[in-house]
């Protein structure tokens, strides 16, 4: 390829589409720490306590919730951001998929 095209070697990949890539002898590690912090800022949860589980066990939410409605655009933006974060955080995949069901008419319970 180098003979046919003008190519330069940029070295090991370190950052790609918002994902920090670390390569060493033990393997490849992907991080989205900065992106996760931006999501916390967007949601107003930067000072909240962390949790071991991303969602309550056996939680039952309904589309017909009578709670106060929230801005659907803001809720959809959060869900889309979390769906991108799932690429490196598989532990939140189920919770994000479950909450995606309520993007049409989200309420405070869903948020």
Please write the tens of the pLDDT for every residue from 66-103: 888 889 999 999 999 999 999 888 999 999 999 999 98
State the residue range of the domain holding 54.
Answer: 15-102
Q: Is residue 4 part of a domain?
A: no
Kindly tell me the sign of the dihedral angle through the C-alpha atoms of 91, 93, 96, 97.
negative
* Residue 9 is assigned to a structural domain of this protein: no
**pLDDT grade for 55, boundaries at 50, 70 and 90:** confident
Long-range contact list for 18-25, CB < 8 A, 24+ apart? 18/84, 19/87, 19/88
pLDDT at 7 over 90: no
Is 29 inside any structural domain? yes
Which tokens belong to 111? 């948020």
| Residue 28 domain-assigned (yes or no) | yes
110 within a domain of the structure (yes/no): no
Q: What pLDDT shows up at residue 58?
A: 84
Give the number of other CB atoms < 10 A from CB of residue 82: 21
Q: Do 69 and 45 form a contact (C-beta atoms < 8 A)?
A: no
Summarize the confidence of residues 35-56 as an average pLDDT. 88
Q: What is the pTM of this model?
A: 0.77
Residue 95 lies in a domain: yes
């Amino acid at each position: 390829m180098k003979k046919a095209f003008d190519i330069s070697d940029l070295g090991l990949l370190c950052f790609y589409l918002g994902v920090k890539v670390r390569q060493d002898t033990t393997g490849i590690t992907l991080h989205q720490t900065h992106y996760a912090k931006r999501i916390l800022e967007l949601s107003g949860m930067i000072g909240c306590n962390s949790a071991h589980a991303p969602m309550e066990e056996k939680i039952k939410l309904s589309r017909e919730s009578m709670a106060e409605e929230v801005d659907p655009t803001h809720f959809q933006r959060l869900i889309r951001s979390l769906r991108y974060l799932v690429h490196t955080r598989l532990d939140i995949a189920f919770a994000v998929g479950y909450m995606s069901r309520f993007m049409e008419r989200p309420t405070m319970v869903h948020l």
